[in-house]
Structure 1
């Protein structure tokens, strides 16, 4: 995508369909006059009076306890500098979005139009009663230090400048583990810090709490080593100034154990790295270009332990590992501040989590067979679902132990369960599977590429490095649309009808005829079919010229399924082909089956669909908990429509006793653990959170998932084909660009999975 196209896409993302990235959503009913009279006058007077009696009741009756202000004056925005409060608003909204999706914290972003420290502080103090916490953001140093110090002292709610402390907390956790792997002690190591801004100073301060000695920290700014002769240093920088003659970075790195980079790209050479001590620890955190290239560093020193700020290398130092969960823990105990004890608790929790066994869904997300604590895994991954239930409680405990908690937690098991419920509608699943696809992109055929939306989807998967698209359709139209979209890429474009494809058509036709000649297909028929893009695409996958395909945007599902079943067929040992939809629901990811193929499956077929869906769920790192749903509950009906579900469950219990599956059961009981446990405590689902529903027929499954998608705006990925020999996935007619991108991502994951089995 050219620069203008990227700019246009970014602007459209922020402008449409509703300007901005966050909104206010009511949490109470408001449909009737009675509801409104409770929400406002006269009912609202009652909580007001209770708060007037005891100000702490504000947490009981309002949203204050889960509301954080993200506040800036726009003086140090990302890499944009002093762009002003209005121009900083998209970034602050983005920070609000991260708070919400990672820790379920609501945010109002506040942009203050002043560079005067006193005015800024007074403004924040004046609005502080609205909020449970204050996240200061993108305020330039040294003003940011004084602003944070004063607000922490003068307010009785948590205040943190994430730019200062976020990187410090995450990198300190990584440093603990890196030192352990290097068999070194904090008090013995020499640390060289490139950068002397707010993040670098916060890092150095926190490392000292770990045991690193002040005398062993050598800090550089753009002018060189901080020395006492430099009179331009701020008060906070002066404490790291050395009483010595200035030396350059290369000289400082001789014998150094640790390099901390918070400056600019490519300032560290291979020669400098060679001068460091054994098992050098290098955190090159400049973004997007680290202080030393990752590949150069690991080639130069085989004993290196390295972290960067980039997601495409091991050990990413990412602030999202910290701030959502630090504020979550602070809010949940109504902490009056975020103190050093709470920051250190977050550090130690992150360091310890990296040593625990990694959930399969994290391995899936990062394309790893098994992530294990070691040089390439010293800090948790941002997609790790355990972060909220590990870091937030650690911070909350530290707040209680250090005497700043006003609402102590007593039932920690219940608290951790509540935290896991806050993970967000998509439970990070979509981000995880996209990340997994990017680890090993595959060649995916887009069979209807001359249609604008299909081509847009292909453009996105190409530019996001999710897949390598192969475009089928009228070449002239495709090229014209590509120019219109700014899709400038060297991509294979094939028109199955063109003369230049005659040889390939003939080869495909002969292969197809060879497999179907005893099933009524003549060579002439096969040659004719190869002019149709869906047949041509299927043969490309069949003969290994592509790894997978997606199709169906402009045709009905049965029309597209037919050639796939004829040309590709079922996987080895698969006696049935079915589909499942991955639904990103409010309770987390759920699988619905069969949504597209089997009209009225038998009990045996339902059992097989359940097994296939369980296997698919595991491919996404989800341990399946399956409800076989019906209008009936455990024998309450003797109608054949209900008894076939019962028979399917019996088959599964007999032949797959370890599978967590039960039924027949009504959907409300399946999805309500309290109701289920009370009425049917004998069920294998009692006490479990159901994440997979197997429906009795196509009507029920298809109608249900489409209703949820349209009425509740639940994101749906699918139908995902199960039981096919090759990665083939078919859109529903008229699928959106986003849905097609998601299906192409699934095709890549499917190809990755099938590729493993061949090895």
Structure 2
């Protein structure tokens, strides 16, 4: 079984370690590694580091019960037992972290204490991957050790170790050659491809809004880098072929690259002028499904790319808890406006407006109040009608035609327009067609 939180995280950790050690001028076979956490993800990360050249005698592993050593009688499985130390009387990670080059955290907030970080070797690499709160916050780590390179699992800090970096691209390469398994060679190929991509300048920006340039604050690519599929899929396909697990070898990798390129950039070329036009105009887009993870992540992108100002329909407590759960850098009021369907000061005005529009169709005042309280598509349309938003996006749930009717009941048709239609973009080899 290829598990995203296990093997996917390991691949990205491998890429981060490759570049982090390159920037610090260290060799992987020489570095001392201290790991907080001994679960499946941590063990997978350590195994890929061993495959990259780390030495097991340089690895120390601790969990909530202390260091994995011969004195522990609860370490009775082969996966953790592999990393049990037989040469130390130490019982905690704090006792052995002095001189460590890498801290790998897959445990809990606060596991890396300031005094522990202070003892680490020059230019330490910190992979604090607990979510939503890492083992040490990046700003705290930098205050204690300005020479440290810090990675977290969060999108609001540089160096996000996110397994989305290799999904679904590793599967794209594996499927395209008919691989019978995903082996160690393919995972290592993905790690090396991701590491190399961070060296190449792209269009992405860092969380600070500055161009992403290879260095301590950019040792792995942005998860939204569109070139990931172009680098990872071919590398994985080649590794599958070289290791003998490919049933349909690719004969022409140039043609394969062109095929992948069409997946990524054909729509991008069409959309780029639209995005360029939208950027900086400050238009307000209201999302009817504001509590949905996809909408929250889209809102993050809109802000990062300065495409529009999001307005989210949702309950404030739910929005805040999900933003924290997904590790997003969003704050109500600062980054987006909230329309709370349960308690919004505009509710009475929206009900009055809605009833004036649909009252003659048999909608009573009581029914109008219920609809404006419960139908988020109607709420979004009313916001546009009143000028509280410039555009709306809805339809993640429910039937398309129902949403169209709800919108039309509020916004109607512009003068001279007889009907509304759906517009689909079809990308063909000769160009894009709008149907």
Q: TM-score, normalised by structure 1?
A: 0.41
Alignment of 1:167-566 (within 5 A): 167-233=9-75, 234-243=77-86, 244-358=88-202, 360=203, 362-363=204-205, 368-423=209-264, 434-439=299-304, 465=330, 467-469=335-337, 474=346, 476-477=348-349, 534=387, 550=390, 554-555=410-411
Distance 1:372 1:267 in 2: 30
**8 Å Cα contact 1:189/1:257 also seen in 2:** yes
Deviations 1:175-232 (A, max 9, x none): 0001111111112211001111221112111112222111110011221111012232
**In 2 relative to 1, CA 435–399 (structure 1 residues): closer, same or farther, beyond 3 Å?**
same
Aligned mates of 2:318, 2:219 — CA distance in 1: 32
Aligned length: 349
Is contact 2:302-2:308 (8 Å) kept?
A: no
Moved more, 410-419 or 454-463: 454-463
Q: Secondary structure at the match of 1:282?
A: strand
Structure whose CA Rg is larger: 1
Residues in 2 aligned to 1:263 and 1:445: alpha-carbon distance in whole angstroms: 34
SS of the residue corresponding to residue 188 of structure 1 reads: coil
Are the equivalent residues in 2 in contact too, given 1:442–1:468 (CA < 8 A)? no
Matches within 5 A, 1:617-696: 671-673=428-430, 690=431
Q: Which has the higher helix share?
A: 1
Pick 1 or 2: higher relative contact order, CA cutoff 8 A, min separation 6.
2
Distance 2:310 2:155 in 1: 27
Distance in structure 2 (CA, Å) of the matches to 1:437 and 1:169? 28
**Contact 2:113–2:136 (CA<8 Å) still a contact in 1?**
yes
Q: CA distance change for structure 1 residues 399 and 533 in 2, over 3 Å: closer, same or farther?
A: closer
Is the Cα–Cα contact under 8 Å of residues 123 and 148 in structure 2 kept in the other structure? Answer: yes
Change (3 A) 1:558 1:302: farther
- Kindly report which structure 2 residues correspond to 1:66-215, keeping only aligned pairs within 5 A, or say none: 136=1, 160-215=2-57
Write the distance in 2 (CA, Å) between the matches of 1:321 and 1:270.
Answer: 30
In structure 2, relative to structure 1, the CA distance for the partners of 1:426 and 1:229 (3 Å cut) is farther
Whole-Å Cα distance in 2 between the matches of residues 474 and 382 of structure 1?
A: 38
Q: Give the secondary structure class of the aligned counterpart of 1:338.
A: coil
Query: Shift in Å at residue 337 of structure 1?
Result: 2.4
Shift of 1:335: 2.0
In structure 2, how many angstroms separate the alpha carbons of the residues matched to 1:672 and 1:345? 31
TM (normalized to structure 2)?
0.68
SS in 2 for 1:186: coil
Inter-CA distance 232–473: structure 2 relative to 1 (3 Å threshold): closer
Pair 1:557–1:167, CA change in 2 (3 A): same
Q: CA deviation at 1:395?
A: 0.9
Q: Deviations over 1:725-758 (max 9, x none)?
A: xxxxxxxxxxxxxxxxxxxxxxxxxxxxxxxxxx
Unaligned residue ranges in structure 2 (runs of 5+): 272-293, 324-329, 352-368, 377-384, 393-406, 416-422
Q: Distance in 2 between matches of 1:211 and 1:174?
A: 14
Instruction: Identify if the C-alpha distance between structure 1 residues 474 and 227 changes in structure 2 by more than 3 Å, giving closer, same or farther.
Output: closer
**Is the contact made by 1:443 and 1:468 (CA closer than 8 Å) also made in structure 2?**
no
Could you report, residue by residue, the CA deviation over 1:571-607 in whole angstroms, capped at 9, with x for unpaired residues?
xxxxxxxxxxxx77453xxxxxxxxxxxxxxxxxxxx
* Cα offsets for 1:539-592 (capped at 9, x unmatched): xxxxxxxxxx52697456869xxxxxxxxxxxxxxxxxxxxxxx77453xxxxx
> How far does residue 439 in structure 1 lie from its aligned partner after superposition?
3.9
- Structure 2 contact 155–207 (Cα < 8 Å) conserved: no
Cα distance change of structure 1 residues 355 and 223 upon mapping to structure 2, 3 Å threshold:
same
What SS does the corresponding residue of 2:54 show, helix, strand or coil? coil
Q: Distance in 2 between matches of 1:343 and 1:255?
A: 29
Change (3 A) 1:481 1:354: farther
Q: Following the alignment from structure 2 to structure 1, what is the Cα–Cα distance between the partners of residues 146 and 232?
A: 32
SS at match of 2:126: strand
SS in 2 for 1:264: coil
